[in-house]
Chains A and B, each alone.
Chain A
């Protein structure tokens, strides 16, 4: 198994536990090193019994993948099950009293069997230990190389059933990995495992943006000594030049229906917003100012394009109707607000704020206008919401090296993802995989 993250540190810090002395519990499995610290966060205790996969050769431990996902969410305390005598692989074999003694509130069991034609059958059930009832049960008929993603899907079922919130784990992240003078746009599972290079170049690549269906990524490449926007299919590797006009072509943002993109062109002047169809046709200018207008993003209802502009002096966030018109200012708080990103429900806006000389992720409630600073670095950039809106992934820098970090939208849970020796930036969290 190829791994992006030699060190995948996860720190779960409740705000209060962070102030008090935190308990640090290193848990290591496979090649991941996970560090969890936390105290009195409300975490649901769950037992993930190792799946019966005795008859399946050379496969990863699926229970470990599920456990890591649930831990990383900050919503669960995954219990050690090795000391329990019974190791059921089907809900009918579960002796609930054993698991109640372990103080588990939920239990997941399952098994993997081989099917003809090099297929696998993964079965899993989720039980409520207190009520002694089955909460969920799924069977998956998969190709062997889909096992890891199936584990993420099972983690999603568990997460949804027990938290009542929509899923997060069966998704992928894109980011730029700069290594030895080369820039690679890579895509990995949301847990950082299984990285694949989409495109690489000896010139910079920035601003990856997932199409809403997750099949394509738009990005900006400097391979021709200037910024040009490409759209590339992940399955086929085919790419089209979306925009290569005189001057700069940058900051692609997909419309929610995937039919067009908001982009930034300069021609011979300053950055301005344009709309263009996803096949590169139908260019239309959206803003006409003498200032900088850049970093467009669509509202989830597709009615608005939010963007950053220095038209009022300092860089602030504005919005313009996606059919054109006058722009209205959105941010008034703070001297410098950039990189707007909508939460999936459209109710809040993540951004980068210059907070006393430190660039940090901030979250603005669009109803109340209230702003909360969420990150703790000094050069944090590129906020990107998880598909369910609960977590914001972003780029951070320390000692000249870029890495990824994530923070829950309420600011309570923090994670750090880093690769030894790599310089990682520009994360973009993709949509859920069906």
Chain B
């Protein structure tokens, strides 16, 4: 079941990549490798019996409207979990978030065209620019976890919103805790 979902997503990615490379004047460089990586998934696509052309159409609809078939947006799939929380003044990734990171790492390794943005956040205490740096350090900490699982830097960008996306007026620690966070965002989310 999950494989089938992956197939459609991959096919969509390939179509998108082909469109993008068609627009570019530069010759394809990384793209052929990406195609080869996904050929095993693509071959299992043929087993579900639907015509290749209609498959392409379905993917387009999937990516625009039907989140149910997208593992990244399926609420029952761990890949839909996108928030990693941190202790005060800490960039240590807590053990409870390892399954989340492992699941996204697996997805990135299987979908080498997929690009991830790790968006760091900080609570509102401290200065704005310093909090940009604190959020960044958390994003970098999560990125290193991905690196250890074999994901390359070219698939990840680490950025920080500092305290700018923090829900203000926190009166207690539970509220601050929600702002000390790295959000896992896919480039085409």
Residues of chain A having any CB pair with chain B under 8 Å: 204, 206-207, 222, 225-227, 246-248, 250-251, 264, 266, 268-271, 292, 294-295, 308, 315, 336, 338-339, 352, 354, 359, 379, 381-382, 399-400, 425-426
CB neighbours of B158 from chain A (8 A): 247, 266, 268
Q: When chains A and B are docked, how far (Å) is the Cα of A341 from the Cα of B143?
A: 33
CB neighbours of B133 from chain A (8 A): 248, 264, 270-271, 292, 294
Q: When chains A and B are docked, how far (Å) is the Cα of A41 from the Cα of B153?
A: 61
Does B137 interact with chain A (Cβ within 8 Å)?
A: yes
Residues of chain B having any CB pair with chain A under 8 Å: 117, 119, 124-130, 132-134, 136-137, 140, 143, 153, 156-162, 164-165, 168-169
CB neighbours of B134 from chain A (8 A): 292
Given contacts A207-B129, A248-B160, A295-B130, 20 further A-B contacts (CB under 8 A): A204-B161, A226-B159, A227-B159, A246-B157, A248-B136, A251-B132, A264-B129, A268-B140, A268-B143, A268-B158, A270-B133, A294-B129, A294-B133, A295-B129, A308-B130, A338-B130, A339-B129, A339-B130, A379-B124, A382-B127
CB neighbours of B162 from chain A (8 A): 206, 227
Nearest B residue (CB) for A383: B127
In the bound complex, do residue B127 and residue A339 qualify as a contact, i.e. CB atoms below 8 Å apart?
Answer: yes
CB neighbours of A266 from chain B (8 A): 136, 140, 158-160
Q: When chains A and B are docked, how far (Å) is the Cα of A227 from the Cα of B164?
A: 11
Q: When chains A and B are docked, how far (Å) is the Cα of A292 from the Cα of B138?
A: 11
Q: How far is the CB of B171 from chain A (nearest CB, A)?
A: 10
CB neighbours of B165 from chain A (8 A): 204
Q: A204-B164, A400-B168 given as contacts; is B129 within 8 A of A251 (CB)?
A: yes
Nearest B residue (CB) for A295: B129
In the bound complex, do residue A400 and residue B169 qualify as a contact, i.e. CB atoms below 8 Å apart?
Answer: yes
Nearest A residue (CB) for B165: A204
Q: How far is the CB of B95 from chain A (nearest CB, A)?
A: 23
How many contacting A-B pairs (Cβ < 8 A)?
Answer: 100
Write 23 A-B pairs (CB below 8 A) sorted by A numbering: A204-B161, A206-B164, A222-B161, A222-B164, A225-B119, A226-B117, A226-B159, A248-B136, A248-B160, A250-B129, A251-B129, A266-B158, A270-B133, A271-B136, A294-B130, A295-B130, A308-B130, A339-B127, A339-B130, A354-B126, A359-B127, A400-B169, A425-B128
Q: A270-B137, A271-B136 given as contacts; is B126 within 8 A of A338 (CB)?
A: yes
Q: When chains A and B are docked, how far (Å) is the Cα of A352 from the Cα of B169?
A: 20
Q: When chains A and B are docked, how far (Å) is the Cα of A289 from the Cα of B18?
A: 41
In the bound complex, do residue A338 and residue B136 qualify as a contact, i.e. CB atoms below 8 Å apart?
Answer: no
CB neighbours of B130 from chain A (8 A): 292, 294-295, 308, 315, 338-339
In the bound complex, do residue B128 and residue A426 qualify as a contact, i.e. CB atoms below 8 Å apart?
Answer: yes
Question: Looking at the complex, which one of A207, A222, A226, A269 makes contact with B140 (CB distance below 8 Å)?
Answer: A269
Nearest A residue (CB) for B157: A246
CB neighbours of B126 from chain A (8 A): 315, 336, 338, 354, 359
Q: When chains A and B are docked, how far (Å) is the Cα of A44 from the Cα of B168?
A: 43
Q: How far is the CB of A181 from chain B (nearest CB, A)?
A: 12
Question: Looking at the complex, which one of B127, B136, B169 makes contact with A270 (CB distance below 8 Å)?
Answer: B136
Q: How far is the CB of B37 from chain A (nearest CB, A)?
A: 22
In the bound complex, do residue A294 and residue B140 qualify as a contact, i.e. CB atoms below 8 Å apart?
Answer: no
Nearest B residue (CB) for A246: B157
Q: When chains A and B are docked, how far (Å) is the Cα of A222 from the Cα of B117?
A: 14
In the bound complex, do residue A207 and residue B136 qualify as a contact, i.e. CB atoms below 8 Å apart?
Answer: no
Q: When chains A and B are docked, how far (Å) is the Cα of A211 from the Cα of B161?
A: 25
Q: When chains A and B are docked, how far (Å) is the Cα of A339 from the Cα of B162?
A: 15
Question: Looking at the complex, which one of B128, B129, B157, B168 makes contact with A247 (CB distance below 8 Å)?
Answer: B157
In the bound complex, do residue A207 and residue B128 qualify as a contact, i.e. CB atoms below 8 Å apart?
Answer: yes
Q: How far is the CB of A129 from chain B (nearest CB, A)?
A: 47
Q: A292-B133, A294-B130, A338-B126 given as contacts; is B140 within 8 A of A248 (CB)?
A: no
Q: A294-B133, A400-B168 given as contacts; is B159 within 8 A of A248 (CB)?
A: yes
Nearest B residue (CB) for A228: B159
CB neighbours of A206 from chain B (8 A): 128-129, 132, 162, 164
CB neighbours of B159 from chain A (8 A): 225-227, 247-248, 266
Closest 7 CB pairs of A and B: A400-B169, A204-B164, A226-B159, A271-B133, A292-B133, A294-B133, A251-B129
Q: When chains A and B are docked, how far (Å) is the Cα of A386 from the Cα of B162?
A: 27
Q: When chains A and B are docked, how far (Å) is the Cα of A240 from the Cα of B132?
A: 22
Nearest B residue (CB) for A351: B127
In the bound complex, do residue A359 and residue B128 qualify as a contact, i.e. CB atoms below 8 Å apart?
Answer: no
In the bound complex, do residue B140 and residue A270 qualify as a contact, i.e. CB atoms below 8 Å apart?
Answer: yes
Q: When chains A and B are docked, how far (Å) is the Cα of A379 from the Cα of B164?
A: 15
Q: A225-B117, A400-B168 given as contacts; is B137 within 8 A of A292 (CB)?
A: yes
Nearest A residue (CB) for B164: A204
In the bound complex, do residue B125 and residue A359 qualify as a contact, i.e. CB atoms below 8 Å apart?
Answer: yes
Q: A225-B159, A268-B143, A292-B137 given as contacts; is B132 within 8 A of A338 (CB)?
A: no
Q: How far is the CB of A205 from chain B (nearest CB, A)?
A: 9
Q: When chains A and B are docked, how far (Å) is the Cα of A316 from the Cα of B140?
A: 21
CB neighbours of B132 from chain A (8 A): 206, 227, 248, 250-251, 264, 271, 294
Name, among A225, A270, A295, A426, the residue most crowded by chain B CB atoms within 10 Å (CB to CB).
Answer: A270
Q: When chains A and B are docked, how far (Å) is the Cα of A246 from the Cα of B128?
A: 20
Name, among B119, B129, B136, the residue most crowded by chain A CB atoms within 10 Å (CB to CB).
Answer: B129
Q: When chains A and B are docked, how far (Å) is the Cα of A248 from the Cα of B118?
A: 12
CB neighbours of A222 from chain B (8 A): 161, 164
Q: When chains A and B are docked, how far (Å) is the Cα of A315 from the Cα of B89?
A: 11
Q: When chains A and B are docked, how far (Å) is the Cα of A251 from the Cα of B127?
A: 11
